[in-house]
Amino acid sequence: MSLKFVERQQLKEKPNIKEVAFGTTFTDYMVSADYNKDDGWHDFKIIPYEPLSLDPSTAVLHYAQTVFEGLKAYKVDGETVLFRPEENFKRLNRSLERLSMPKIDENQALESLIELLKIEKDWVPNGKGEALYIRPVVFATSKSINVLPSSEYKFLIILSPVGGLFSQDGLGTTKIYTEDKYVRAVRGGVGEAKFGGNYASSMLAQEYANEKGYSQVLWLDGVEQQYLEEVGAMNIFFVKNGELYTPKLNGSILPGVTRKSIIEFARDRGYTVHEDRIHIDDFKKGLEDGSVTEVFGAGTAAVVAPVSHLNIHGEELKVGDGEVGPVAKEIYDTLTGIQTKRVEDKFNWVKEVK
Amino acid sequence: MSLKFVERQQLKEKPNIKEVAFGTTFTDYMVSADYNKDDGWHDFKIIPYEPLSLDPSTAVLHYAQTVFEGLKAYKVDGETVLFRPEENFKRLNRSLERLSMPKIDENQALESLIELLKIEKDWVPNGKGEALYIRPVVFATSKSINVLPSSEYKFLIILSPVGGLFSQDGLGTTKIYTEDKYVRAVRGGVGEAKFGGNYASSMLAQEYANEKGYSQVLWLDGVEQQYLEEVGAMNIFFVKNGELYTPKLNGSILPGVTRKSIIEFARDRGYTVHEDRIHIDDFKKGLEDGSVTEVFGAGTAAVVAPVSHLNIHGEELKVGDGEVGPVAKEIYDTLTGIQTKRVEDKFNWVKEVK
């Protein structure tokens, strides 16, 4: 691959990973590419991480045409590895399409990431639960406030080192508030795209949940406000009578890579996994009668986030004994084990950067 | 008002207004202010219109926290005037609140606009249908990709001269496609906010409508996909048996200033105006039996946009005789008349810049 490389004068001092707040520290370099109607995507390059010069009329600032991805690089035995990165670039293209934005060559995008990671290999931390968070993003750059799909776009990949999110035993628990007033997404809308606007529009409900003492929102569907969709920025799973359940993808749920991976390897391990339309009352009943023994979120950031308590229609319910359950623990250990090559990668999900 | 003013070295050459594409040319100066948690909104100033320096991690580029407004300044007898600008800044604050963004002092924002317009008075065009389009915008500027409401924001007001949108008789007609697959907004969502994400998420349906030969989309509600909401980026009105109808504000419809003004002065003129929940089948029946004689969009950009044809469930229906109807013409003439002080401003809607 012939990727233009612009070297920076001086490298940054690397921070103490234990002291870094998530998403606020970035590495020395980034991938950059541009799109216009004549040239398509062009000028892929690795350049110093530095401010962009954007006109006040830049389309993304007004009409929010922006989609992103999130994945992680891990350090294993001195080598940098990725987990199913091709899934993220496939989803990026699906998101781009939904937001009337131009698709990007998935291989070229992934190759540019790999070149970037080779240069930034010393930024990949190697402690337990630590990783280099990878943020591909595409946004509209036309200098026009006419309400039209932009005719110019920018693609960036930036990198941010992240420490372990959880306590030293690897997994903590979280409390969830079921939102029955605000709606995140609806069929026919943009809920299945990793669209920036889905995150902005979710923040108010998230703030209210925090004020009530809950760390995440459980979203219900936009039509009937009765069916489970997502939890915060994660997919949701639960264990009922020893079987796994997760809401079926319906156009308003984000198709998570962690979600997909859990379904695939849990089935391989002999679990029955149901992708269903799940009514909140059925779910609540299962919590009340004890048949639902575990609930957890699943996503790139936390991998698995066990839920200790759920507030449903104003009533707080404890999940099982309120501790991390055995299925969540097995899934977390297996997934992080595969990601860090401590568990056999029988699905060939781990990609080495070399 | 003590507003800091940074003078630019050289003024731009003013373009020929007849040749300017909407939203692509901007004046010499802009209003700028910043927000952080310690100082609140501060540093209101008028500075040269020039590129912003934004870190690649700037929150708005990833999570789309951005809301905006749109209004116009007109030149009347050599003076610059505004139409109900306080309504726009009120709505800006409602939008900010919904998107977990900090409210701004409405008076201070409006005063800063007035100072800007005094400086830019030679940019306000005076031809028929011409105006200076005003774009206030607030967006998230924290350098963080943590999914949280940003702790820093920027407020800008930029100005763009616009020519007459329509042919020389003042009003043209437009063809509308009723969207029954994609959804713009749903109750509990962000549809009533002037949120950039609502525009990004509408673009795909708009493109499909264009491909089918229609210039705008008629949006139906997100729950049942049966009730009229908006047309493109405008509110919708129709005339049935001589009375005016428009969908009732329900949380997913943008509360337009033009919509509100039409309702107010039409009632004052003796029209019966209904704000109702309107089923698409009832509306279609009215078009078929001839009781619906006019349909038009209403918004800041076009003021009034008469509809000649509507596609509903795949069937194209002509509205009346397909020409601009008398009610749309009366409303257009009255509203533009008030805006340009050719019609008595009995509601005191016009604000002079001085």
The three-state secondary structure class of B86 is helix
Distance CA A320, CA A307 (A): 10
Residue type, A236: I
Q: What is the dihedral of CA B287, B291, B296, B297, to 10 degrees?
A: -80
The three-state secondary structure class of A238 is strand
- What single-letter DSSP state applies at residue B226? -
A-facing residues of B in 42-81 (CB < 8 A) are 49-57, 60-66, 68
- Determine the average pLDDT of the residues in B137-162: 97
CA-based radius of gyration for chain B: 21
pLDDT of B168 strictly over 60: no
Residue by residue, DSSP assigns B14-57 as PP-GGGPPTTS---SEEEEEEEETTTEEEEEEEEE---EEE-TT
- Determine the average pLDDT of the residues in B3-30: 93
**Helix residue ranges per DSSP H, chain A:** 59-63, 85-98, 106-119, 196-200, 203-211, 257-268, 280-289, 326-339
Establish if B322 touches chain A: CB-CB under 8 angstroms.
Answer: no
Locate A269 and state its tokens: 């391990």
Of B26, B55, B207, the CB nearest to A57: B26
Residue B80 belongs to what H/E stretch? Answer: strand B79-83
Rounded to 5°, the CA angle A254-A257-A230 comes to 35
Rounded to 5°, the CA angle B61-B235-A222 comes to 60
Of B57, B160, B200, the CB nearest to A26: B57
The three-state secondary structure class of A204 is helix
Distance CA B253, CA B190 (A): 9
A-facing residues of B in 200-259 (CB < 8 A) are 200-201, 203-204, 207, 222-223, 225, 233
Distance CA A20, CA A304 (A): 21
Q: Residue-wise pLDDT tens for chain A (354 aa)?
A: 579 999 999 999 999 888 888 899 999 999 999 999 999 999 999 999 999 999 999 999 999 999 999 999 999 999 999 999 999 999 999 999 999 999 999 999 999 999 999 999 999 999 888 999 999 999 999 999 999 999 999 999 999 999 865 444 568 899 999 999 999 999 999 999 999 999 999 999 999 999 999 999 999 999 999 999 999 889 999 999 999 999 999 999 999 999 999 999 999 999 999 999 999 999 999 999 999 999 999 999 889 999 999 999 999 999 999 999 999 999 999 999 999 999 999 999 999 998
Residue A73 belongs to what H/E stretch? Answer: strand A71-76
- pLDDT for B259 equals 98
Residue by residue, DSSP assigns A32-52 as EEEEETTTEEEEEEEEE---E
Contacts of A242 (CB under 8 A, 6+ apart): none
Establish if A173 touches chain B: CB-CB under 8 angstroms.
Answer: no
CB distance A229 to A247 below 8 Å: yes
What distance in Å separates residue A207's CA from the closest CA in chain B?
A: 8
A350-354: long-range contacts, CB 8 A cutoff, minimum separation 24:
A350/A81, A350/A82, A350/A83, A351/A81, A351/A82, A351/A83, A351/A84, A351/A85, A351/A86, A352/A79, A352/A80, A352/A81, A352/A82, A353/A73, A353/A79, A353/A80, A353/A81, A353/A82, A353/A114, A353/A117, A353/A118, A353/A121, A354/A79, A354/A118
What distance in Å separates residue B78's CA from the closest CA in chain A?
A: 27
Distance CA A282, CA A11 (A): 55
Cβ pair B62:A137 closer than 8 A: yes
Locate B302 and state its tokens: 């076009």
The residue among B140, B137, B134 whose CA lies nearest residue B161 is B134
Contacts of B307 (CB under 8 A, 6+ apart): B173, B174, B175, B176, B231, B295, B296, B297, B319
Contacts of A55 in chain B (CB under 8 A): 51-52
The neighbouring-strand residues paired with B159 are B134
Residue type, B106: E
- pLDDT for A168 equals 45
Q: How far is CA A19 from CA A62, A162, A237, A302, B19, in A?
A: 35, 10, 31, 18, 55
- pLDDT tens-digit series, residues B206-239: 999 999 999 999 999 999 999 999 998 899 999 9
Contacts of B6 (CB under 8 A, 6+ apart): B45, B46, B47, B48
pLDDT bin (cut points 50, 70, 90) of residue B301 is: confident
Contacts of B63 in chain A (CB under 8 A): 196, 199-200
Estimate to the nearest angstrom the gap between the alpha carbon of A176 and the chain centroid.
18
Locate B42 and state its tokens: 């501060």
Contacts of B191 in chain A (CB under 8 A): none
How many A×B Cβ pairs under 8 Å? 204
Contacts of B24 in chain A (CB under 8 A): 57, 143-144, 146
A-facing residues of B in 151-170 (CB < 8 A) are 156, 158, 160
The three-state secondary structure class of A104 is coil
What distance in Å separates residue B268's CA from the closest CA in chain A?
A: 33
The neighbouring-strand residues paired with A238 are A245, A295
Cβ pair A65:B200 closer than 8 A: yes
The residue among A290, A199, A202 whose CA lies nearest residue A238 is A290
- pLDDT for B165 equals 55
Question: Torsions phi, psi of B83, nearest 5?
Answer: -115, 110
Residue the block writes with tokens 């209004």: B71
The neighbouring-strand residues paired with A335 are none
Of A63, A146, A200, the CB nearest to B22: A146
Cβ pair B57:A189 closer than 8 A: no
Of B26, B50, B56, the CB nearest to A30: B56
Cβ pair B189:A222 closer than 8 A: yes
pLDDT bin (cut points 50, 70, 90) of residue B34 is: very high
Contacts of B50 in chain A (CB under 8 A): 56
What distance in Å separates residue B319's CA from the closest CA in chain A?
A: 26
% of chain B residues with pLDDT over 70? 98
Delineate the domains of chain B, giving CATH numbers in brackets.
Answer: 4-162 (3.30.470.10), 174-339 (3.20.10.10)
pLDDT of B164 strictly over 60: yes
- pLDDT for A129 equals 84
Residue type, A152: E
What distance in Å separates residue B80's CA from the closest CA in chain A?
A: 22
The neighbouring-strand residues paired with A67 are A138, A195
Establish if B94 touches chain A: CB-CB under 8 angstroms.
Answer: no
Q: Which residue of B has its CA nearest to A220?
A: B188
Locate A332 and state its tokens: 């977390």
Give the mutation candidate from B68, B147, B180, B220 for the A interface (greatest A CB count, under 10 A): B147
- pLDDT tens-digit series, residues B78-137: 999 999 999 999 999 999 999 999 999 999 999 999 999 999 999 999 988 899 999 999
Contacts of A30 in chain B (CB under 8 A): 56
Distance CA B83, CA A165 (A): 52
Cβ pair A64:B62 closer than 8 A: no
Contacts of B203 in chain A (CB under 8 A): 65, 99-100, 148-149
Contacts of A140 in chain B (CB under 8 A): 200
Distance CA A278, CA A178 (A): 14
Cβ pair A190:B196 closer than 8 A: no
Of A56, A158, A204, the CB nearest to B56: A158
- pLDDT tens-digit series, residues B312-336: 999 999 999 999 999 999 999 999 9
Burial class (CB in 10 A: 0-12, 13-18, 19+), B204: middle
Interface predicted TM-score of the whole assembly (ipTM), two decimals: 0.97
Give the mutation candidate from A97, A155, A183, A230 for the B interface (greatest B CB count, under 10 A): A183
